[in-house]
Chain A
Amino acid sequence: MQGAYAINKLKQDSSHKEKMADDLPNVLLLGTPSVFKAYEREFSEKYHFLKPGESSIPLHQFLSTHAGSVKAAFCSASSRVTTDVLQSLPELRFIMNSSVGVDHIDLHECKRRGVKVANAGPIFSEDVADAAVGLLIDVLRRISAANRFVKAELWHQNGDYQLGHKLGGKRVGIVGMGSIGLDVAKRLNAFGCIISYTSRNEKPHVKFPFCPNIQELAAKSEILVICCALTDQTRHMIDKSVVLALGRDGIIVNIARGAIINEKDLVECLLQQEIAGVGLDVFENEPDVPEELLELDNVVMTPHHAVMTDESLRDVYELVVRNLDAFFSNKPLMFEVTRV
């Protein structure tokens, strides 16, 4: 009797699970959002994910075969959402993006098709700003280089360690004054930096001086911190002329998108010592990093980790769940992207 009971219960459980899976809303998973890996179990208890990444057939085939009726997608910055992709998803009405950057999504086409897009909003801003400040102090004060020096047992008596440069009093130009730029400004202001910024439009609530263009900002700054979105206007905005305007003592920190900087120009300037140092969390062709940078002591590089803290990942998990739930129950979304 016990055996039969056990088998029956198993059958009930698995059909119950199937039923539950059928009840769970379908969400298309595009790319590999880090938050998905970290919270896969929790996510899978709430939604049924269609995973083209785990299939051997090409994306378009997968979409037309399996995702024809899917209404919502959860997308990472590594997955390009193009017109072609959208065409294969006629029922799609919502894309929840795991990053702040939406340069990989054809926003125009989404708007045309009535597909709402939401991103991470200001959720990561503090962590990204902290990373920017950390990179800047590291480059100026040679923290990573010094850490390497000591751990290689090179610190001897009378060892003349190369001096760094003071942060206080430096003129900092912030490129892009969204929530990240504002958080960076607030922090560097406390270090005694003199802050200016450039942005698509002047921000009346921001008390720091505004510069109408990047050349002017570079000319009056010693440090540039790139905090803007990647768009057609900002692609390769930081090129040789901007670096030269910044000057030989200049430092650039980029925690936005690699393509905002003309990487070839930057490498050339570093090799010719037309710039004093750089701190980079992002690169044009991640995970490829220009080989020349790997040998330089005045360069600090992190692998696109500015948002990769326990806390931010938890915050974005909660946001994604909140937004997917909101979409499926017809409630307002948080951080909907309305610009095209």
Chain B
Amino acid sequence: MEAMGVLMTYPMSSYLEQQLQNRFTLFRLWNLPNKTHFFNHNAHNIQAVVGSTHIGADPELIDSLPALEIVSSFSVGLDKVDLAYCKEKGIRVTNTPDVLTDDVADTAIGLILATLRRICEDDRFVRSGLWKKDEFKLSVKFSGKKVGILGLGRIGTAIAKRAESFNCSISYHSRSEKPESKYKYYPSVIKLASNCDILVVACALTEQTRHIINREVIDALGPKGVLVNIGRGAHVDERELVSALVEGRLAGAGLDVFEHEPQVPEELFGLDNVVVLPHVASSTVETEMAMADLVVGNLEAHFLKKPLLTPVV
């Protein structure tokens, strides 16, 4: 299988890089002195693309790889892969569902607690040596609050299960109501936002969900509401979110994703009710390995003409 050429689009994981290097002929799409030269010489030798949340497989890349057979994404979200185009061209696509569900759900709860209970701020306070016993700023209780989940897929369901253990009441909005779910369904995001204390974005990024969290939704969530985003930056109208936070029209936000990563609106840096992470919801040693193994497993299955492990197209 060493003859098979695999193009990695981004240095997403050194463990993955090593595994691909060991099994295939690995090409790297970063640190290229001359992209055109690279493609002229190597394109016809590349059968697979391993993409990530940063760089997936758009029509331009797909067209520049005439021998491309499969795109194996190191992510569960496929907003950076042109699925329709792949289908049209007969290119298979796989992702990494399930193995990262727990970590992402844990991050969502971690962000809720960090934001509501001001953990990061408290830690900063202690580190700066300012701790006087009689000075305190009260935080907000999490247990028993109303949690609204946007998108009740694997990740949304895992978040709901955890929030339930905190005695929270759970409601959700989804493309369609899930009859088997015990949680309360709201037919619109605005209704969901109006009826919860904490709104968690956990759906896929599609044309319909781009900027689904807009000014109206933020207003509906209200000045005591908290937004947590472990989906995609583009789910949220970032400018509206920033001004709502700066003007105090929203109580706080916990964000793992942004519209133009790694750029983060600098207005957020000075806000003690905002917790920001560098897109790390699935970034654990254990899960990175599991995701990488799934990527490699899918590629091997494809090249051995066996059924793909987690095909999407």
Chain A residues lying within 8 Å of B266, measured Cβ to Cβ, are: 153
Can you pick out 20 interface pairs between chain A and chain B where the beta carbons lie within 8 Å of each other? A32-B134, A126-B167, A127-B143, A129-B143, A130-B113, A130-B117, A134-B117, A137-B107, A137-B109, A138-B120, A148-B124, A155-B262, A163-B280, A165-B285, A166-B284, A166-B287, A187-B165, A191-B102, A301-B126, A308-B138
Contacts A134-B113, A144-B114, A164-B280 given; does A289 touch B141 at CB 8 Å:
no
Contacts A127-B141, A137-B109 given; does A303 touch B114 at CB 8 Å:
no
Chain A residues lying within 8 Å of B134, measured Cβ to Cβ, are: 32, 34, 37
Query: Which residue numbers of B lie inside 8 Å of A, CB to CB?
Result: 11, 14, 30, 54, 102-103, 106-107, 109-111, 113-114, 117-120, 122-127, 129, 131-134, 136, 138-144, 161-162, 164-167, 261-262, 264, 266, 268-269, 275-278, 280, 283-288
Is the CB–CB distance between B275 and A147 below 8 Å? yes
A118 CA to B275 CA, complexed, in Å: 38
Chain A residues lying within 8 Å of B126, measured Cβ to Cβ, are: 289, 294, 301-303
Q: Which of B119, B129, B165 contacts A135 (CB 8 A)?
A: B119
Q: Which of A141, A153, A158, A313 contacts B11 (CB 8 A)?
A: A158
In the complex, chain A residues 160-177 whose Cβ is within 8 Å of any chain B Cβ: 160-161, 163-168
Is the CB–CB distance between B119 and A302 below 8 Å? yes
Report the tally of A-B residue pairs with Cβ distances under 8 A: 187
A163 CA to B110 CA, complexed, in Å: 15
Q: Which 8 A-B pairs have the closest CB atoms?
A: A134-B113, A190-B165, A137-B110, A302-B122, A126-B143, A311-B141, A287-B131, A166-B286
A147 CA to B272 CA, complexed, in Å: 11
Chain A residue with the shortest CB-CB distance to B263: A155
A145 CA to B284 CA, complexed, in Å: 14
Contacts A150-B264, A159-B262, A309-B138 given; does A168 touch B127 at CB 8 Å:
no
Is the CB–CB distance between B106 and A137 below 8 Å? yes
Query: Which residue numbers of A lie inside 8 Å of B, CB to CB?
Result: 32, 34, 37-38, 78, 126-127, 129-131, 133-135, 137-138, 141-144, 146-151, 153, 155-161, 163-168, 186-187, 189-192, 286-287, 289, 294, 300-303, 305, 308-313
Chain A residue with the shortest CB-CB distance to B139: A309
Shortest distance from the beta carbon of A277 to any chain B beta carbon, whole Å: 13
Chain A residues lying within 8 Å of B162, measured Cβ to Cβ, are: 187, 190-191
Is the CB–CB distance between A130 and B114 below 8 Å? no
A284 CA to B9 CA, complexed, in Å: 50
A129 CA to B117 CA, complexed, in Å: 12
Q: Which of B54, B129, B261, B286 contacts A165 (CB 8 A)?
A: B286
Is the CB–CB distance between B262 and A156 below 8 Å? yes
Is the CB–CB distance between A146 and B143 below 8 Å? no
Is the CB–CB distance between A161 and B283 below 8 Å? yes
Chain A residues lying within 8 Å of B164, measured Cβ to Cβ, are: 190
A223 CA to B14 CA, complexed, in Å: 27
Chain A residue with the shortest CB-CB distance to B269: A151
Is the CB–CB distance between B285 and A138 below 8 Å? no
Chain B residue with the shortest CB-CB distance to A286: B133
Is the CB–CB distance between A166 and B277 below 8 Å? no
Chain B residues lying within 8 Å of A158, measured Cβ to Cβ, are: 11, 30
Contacts A165-B284, A303-B136 given; does A143 touch B141 at CB 8 Å:
no
Shortest distance from the beta carbon of A297 to any chain B beta carbon, whole Å: 11
Is the CB–CB distance between B161 and A141 below 8 Å? no
Chain B residues lying within 8 Å of A167, measured Cβ to Cβ, are: 102-103, 106
Shortest distance from the beta carbon of B122 to any chain A beta carbon, whole Å: 4
Chain B residues lying within 8 Å of A163, measured Cβ to Cβ, are: 280, 283-285, 288
Contacts A137-B106, A187-B166, A191-B162 given; does A155 touch B278 at CB 8 Å:
yes
Shortest distance from the beta carbon of B127 to any chain A beta carbon, whole Å: 5
Is the CB–CB distance between B133 and A138 below 8 Å? no
Is the CB–CB distance between B131 and A303 below 8 Å? yes
A144 CA to B216 CA, complexed, in Å: 31
Is the CB–CB distance between B110 and A141 below 8 Å? yes
Q: Which of A134, A151, A166, A301 contacts B102 (CB 8 A)?
A: A166
Chain B residues lying within 8 Å of A151, measured Cβ to Cβ, are: 268-269, 276
Is the CB–CB distance between B123 and A305 below 8 Å? no
Q: Which of A147, A191, A302 contacts B106 (CB 8 A)?
A: A191
A148 CA to B288 CA, complexed, in Å: 23
A301 CA to B127 CA, complexed, in Å: 8
